[in-house]
Structure 1
Amino acid sequence: MRDEVLEVRFGGYMVAEVHQKFWEAMARGEFITDAAQGAGSYRKQGARWLVACGGVRPRRGRNLKGRCLTFAEREEIALLRARRQGVRQIAAAVGRSPSTISRELRRNADRRGGYRASIAHAAAYERACRPKPAKLVANPRLRERVESDLDQKYSPEQIAGRLRREFPEDPEMQVHHETIYQALYLQSRGALRRELTRRLRTGRSVRKPGRRAGQRKNRIPDPVSITERAPEADDRAVPGHWEGDLILGRRNASAIGTLVERTTNYTMLVHLPDGYTPELMRQALARKIQTLPKALRASLTWDQGTEMRDWKHVKLAADIEVYFADPHSPWQRPVNENTNGLLRQYFPKGSDLSVHSEADLDAVAAELNGRPRKRLEFRKPIEDIGPLLLQ
């Protein structure tokens, strides 16, 4: 049995002090990127954790209260043991009792008597598992009934409530709705078929973390609503009011910033060769806006993307007022949305946008600004804004 345990392959999911930080952040309303970074990882790994667990936070690793050795402590033990330190010396360095260290070395050494942190942690993780057969696995009759009701598009709560009504004296034919959800999303339990998630109202194969009202973290700190923008920007009578957004490349790994003047449709493209993190975005955007004369820097309206987290820096550096459209309201930035559609002729969806140089972007913007526009009575944007650019 001991040899079988030692064959368990070590994985990051076993390090509770790391991945549980990720789940705690998700429960607080953080986004995947922020939650993964808080756990010392990255967005793709966070997405893997979500998918592997079906979006359900694992119970294992919660509230250990220092009782169990952490992976970091096991790494320290392995390092000190390699230096031929004694049990009491290791215990003093790690801050554990000598009996804890002695028991750890005795239980979790490999076949040759050596001690490696990854092997020891995997062995301890597997040994701590006390599997209990899921109710929907152990009771075929109940499982068939639940699957039949799911096929009829009953919700788990409706199924659980109906079973309590039909079998009030038979607890073996009753099940909590959360048990059904976990059986659907946690395929490791082997209770219900994953394809049955399509019968749920949402149709999601991964559970979305539920949050209470006001719990979700705001993307933008202290955003100024578009409703506070000057009336002259709404009627497009005075040039100098801009709309901005990003167009994204393949797998959202690259981006180009777009700036469109509301009155003249004049377009500028922001070069983002190294990504569109808030830090990179604020620098590139401010630098681009600073090329405009002061008369054309009245306001900028952006959507509520995380790339504009540092909007206050942009406001100060470029001396321009910044406003934000309401969530999921692209019609509040119509000129920009229309221009982004035109730009897809040059930058198709699914392509790598980082391959384009700043000179390439300027050339595309110049070509777009030289197109006649119906809204301008077939004048060109450069013709309307040209005299203002020379001021």
Structure 2
Amino acid sequence: MCETFLQLRVSGLGTEAAEARLGFSSSRVIEWEDRFRRDDGRHHFQVGVEVEAAFWASYQQGAGLARATQGAGVSRATGYRWLYNRFTLLRASNGPARVAKELRLLPGAAAAWEKRRKTELAVAKERLDQAHRAGIQDARLFAARAAQTVSPAKARRDLAETRYWDLVNAGSSNAEACRMLGMSRRAGTKLRNQRAERSHIRVPVQGSGRYLSLLERIQIADLLRLDCSLRRIGRELGRCPSTIKRELDRHRDGYGRYSPHAADHSASQQRRRPRDRKLRRNRRLRAIVQRKLNRHWSPEQICGWLALQFPFEPGLQLSPETIYRALLFNDDGGLDKKYCPRLRTGRKIRRHRWRTGSGHGAVVRNMTMISQRPPAIETKTEAGHWEGDLIVGPGSTSAMVTLRERKTQYGIIINLPIDHTAARTNAAITAAFAPLPPHLKQTLTWDQGVEMARHQELAAATGIQIYFAERSSPWQRGANENFNGLARQYFRKGTDLSKHTHEYVKSVCNELNARPRKTLGYLTPKALFQAEKSTMHATSGYTRKQPAELPDSLERCVDP
């Protein structure tokens, strides 16, 4: 409706007259009027006014279209568009013969443009008539609804829904909005799902002069039978030759035959929005995605792996957003909501993010800060530089040590079922690093948690240099924070971590290291870590030594 209103204002009608032609009133007329006053009629991708002025100066001096576009530095398609726009502008007040003579148009192009202009005017008139009919129907429906008696319960529900969306639009989360309104979170989730379903209602596609019409496609087929070239067909239709070529490339069959009616039907189906969900119509792709989701792969990992495995099959490639929308919206995207728990967050609807504050705890002494760490470590060109952290259970009664190597993204998880004191954390890390060759244990970056209170003893036992990140700066240990998120997919927040056996922790760690990573070109951390070990073994002659027997509580979860 906004575009129709703007067209009416451009044609010379006032605000009230344009609103009367639409057949209904709207509160957005003020916004449309403001846009009309600010709009200069040019698209944000369109070239500058001075470029178009240079084109017209050259063209009016007698230069051909090719020379004028070349001098202005634009394509021939842009020149054709400028000519047609000037043609329609001049035809509003002059006859076709005079306009064709002024613009130096060929008879075939002038006739085709005249036919196209009449078609566009007819389409615009039909749209106005439809808007008028729709406005009358909306007015009758509004009057009928206003005449109906609304029950007090329905009025309360409508008021609660309005207040709910006001809070959400102001930045409140679903839980916060429901808590302030005294309603359950399930009711808020239902309101979100209903809006998501309404936002995906199909709207019939209206034709426009931008696309080839059925009549033009029939004319293309007739001219092809007369062995006309693409440039000749383009001149006859007033279209760019590249438009004709793309049309034929898209809609010719395997024998090179072009059917205009079939091409028009195919084009209209391709223009439909929204399109049919890719996962719903491709059963093979849906089965692959479901298998990977069952293995706890993230949507981005699935899409990267598909592009790596099927580079020449576009039908088996998709974007991560397609998977998320299929899972988190009730629009029959092809995936059941039972796969939502397989996502890392386990959520069934997208929510606003929120932050929680954290206070200061005990202070670790004699720390070597990350600012003193060699800058070469940031480049990730050398293996052996690790980042570490603790993930804790409810009440900090259970914990796990997580270690991640920066270059290969290889991770290690160690369960601490009894406690996570500084002594036990040191013993766990020492046991994990014991089987590694010296070149794979050079530095370790940790946060300022009290579990590192005896970091000097750890450095002496392992021969590794320990650095500490700044307080409340998790991005300085981004690799480890990412690995903690991966681990939380298996060890949920708020659950007792001590109940997990060492065998299960080991299997989780192996599964995480076998996942492809986008930052590694969708290779696996396990393969790259083994390659780093093998390379150094071959060059330095390193021989691995078996570590001493470990206590059951500190058994390693992986065997690098």
Instruction: Please give the TM-score of this superposition, normalised by the length of structure 1.
Output: 0.44
Whichever structure has more helix as a proportion of its residues is 2
* Higher RCO, 1 vs 2 (CA within 8 Å, ≥6 residues apart): 1
Computing the radius of gyration over CA atoms, which structure comes out larger, 1 or 2?
2
Instruction: Please give the TM-score of this superposition, normalised by the length of structure 2.
Output: 0.31
